[in-house]
Each structure stands twice: as structure tokens, then as C-alpha cells.
Structure 1
Amino acid sequence: MGSTASDEDYFQRGNLFWFTVITLSFGYYTWVVFWPQSIPYQSLGPLGPFTQYLVDHHHTFLHSGYWIAWLIHVGESLYAMVLCKSKGITDSRAQLLWFLQTFLFGIASLSILMAYRPKRQKRT
């Protein structure tokens, strides 16, 4: 897969830096929402007291925001499927990769697909 002569199987893996940042951030967010009692707040520098404050005073907001973030990722993934169709990416494996990558990494993936300009635009 990649930029071959055909657009129907186009897929591009996203930037490793952003995927790492997103994975660590979402991992930390998951930890804060579901296991706040196990976080070593005093060992996290300035992030510790800030996180402690959010957990103590806004846990419901954190919990709701967590699920809203996942819903946004679902929406982005579905939009990725629409973009695949409009850009002539018809290969089911490429579509699945775009869906999964966008579900896991959101706009870091979707922005790549949005910027993609196929050589031959599919006419509808």
C-alpha cells in the first residue's frame, strides 16, 4: 500500500511522534478516569497537582469528556470512510486501515486522508 499508480488502495501511516503523544495522553487520561487512586500525584511534577485537582473537583466532567472523546473518534472514523469513497479508495483493506487508524488516533490520521489528492478523482 502507499502511493502507487492506483488510488484505490492508498493508505499512509501517520506520524510516529503524534501517535506516541496521543497514545501516552489517552493512556494517562484512561488511568485518571478509571484508576485515580493509583496515580502517584507527588511524582508527576506540575502535572500531579493539576491532575489531583481535576480528579477531586471535576471527576464527572473528566469521565464524560473521556466518552465524548471516543465518540468523536468514532465520528472521525466514519467520516474517513466517506472520504475514502469520495477519493476513490475502494480497496477494503485500505479502508479498514483508515478506519482503524482514525479511530485510534483521530485527527492525526484523518488530516492525512483529508489532504490526500488522488491522481484521478472518482466521478460520481
Structure 2
Amino acid sequence: MAGSASYFQRAGVLWMAVITLSMGFFTWILFWPAHVPYEQLGPLGSLAHYLVKNHYTTLYHGFWIAWALHLAEALYSLRLCSTKGITDLGARLQWFIQTFLFGIASLSLLLSYKPGKKRR
């Protein structure tokens, strides 16, 4: 529905799955590194083990920076909602939550949304 005050589009399932698994794995190696079966994860496990062992502080800061960026994108999505005429509180909340959780996969949908022109 072009130009709708309640416009919302769900991010693609593939993007949602990739981002959820990636952030989940990042959380796992960061907060429970002793419980990760690195040797069973092949090259990804080797890389993760190396990073945890040699660059833990960088990983830690990177984790919080990633979430801070997601928060900034989510706040920007609220501004975009305003400029694009999305005034419905429910739709705005959906954009905020989806963008916080899935970042650019959600924000790109909102950025590409072109609302219809208002009739006089």
C-alpha cells in the first residue's frame, strides 16, 4: 500500500537467519568460549578459536559496537518513518524492533520505500 501511514515490510527470512546465527555465534564465542566445540566447526572454529585466544578485547569491543550500530540504525529508522509519512505507532515500533535486531537488512527496505505523493 503505497503512501500508507502504517507501511511495514518484513526483512527477508534468509537475512534474518544469517544475522541471527552470526550474532548468536558471536555471543557464544564471546561469553562462553570454553563451551564452543571449535574443532568440530572446521575452518570457522579455527578462526573463532584464534580470535578468542589472541584478540578477545577486540572481539568484546566489536560486539558492543555492533549492537550500538544496530541501535543507531533503529533510531534512524524512526526518523525515516517520520519523513516517509509512516505515522502509525505499531508500524513505527515494528520498524524500530526489526531494524534493531537485523540492522541494514531492515533499514535498506525502509530506505528504498517511496511513498506515493499526497493528493490535493
TM-score by length of 2: 0.95
Output the CA distance in 1 between the equivalents of 2:96 and 2:49.
Answer: 35
Output the CA distance in 2 between the equivalents of 1:6 and 1:108.
Answer: 21
Report what 2:108 is aligned to. Answer: 111
The question of 1:35 aligning with 2:25 is answered no
Report what 1:64 is aligned to. Answer: 61
Per the TM alignment, residue 6 of structure 1 is displaced from its structure 2 partner at its CA by: 5.0
Q: Secondary structure at the match of 2:42?
A: coil
Query: Between the two proteins, what is the percent identity of the paired residues?
Result: 54
Output the CA distance in 2 between the equivalents of 1:25 and 1:68.
Answer: 15
Output the CA distance in 1 between the equivalents of 2:3 and 2:76.
Answer: 22
Q: Which amino acid in the other structure matches residue 18 of structure 1? A: W
Q: Secondary structure at the match of 2:7?
A: coil
Output the CA distance in 1 between the equivalents of 2:117 and 2:94.
Answer: 21
Q: 1:11 to 1:97 in 2, by over 3 A?
A: same
Output the CA distance in 2 between the equivalents of 1:107 and 1:93.
Answer: 20
1:65-114 CA-partner distances (Å, limit 9, x unpaired): 00000000000000000000000000000000000000000000000000
**Residue among 84, 87, 93 paired with 1:87:** 84
Q: Which amino acid in the other structure matches residue 112 of structure 1? A: L
1:23-57 CA-partner distances (Å, limit 9, x unpaired): 00000000011000100011001111111100000
- Aligned-CA RMSD value: 1.0
The question of 1:101 aligning with 2:102 is answered no
The question of 1:21 aligning with 2:18 is answered yes
Q: Which amino acid in the other structure matches residue 51 of structure 1? A: A
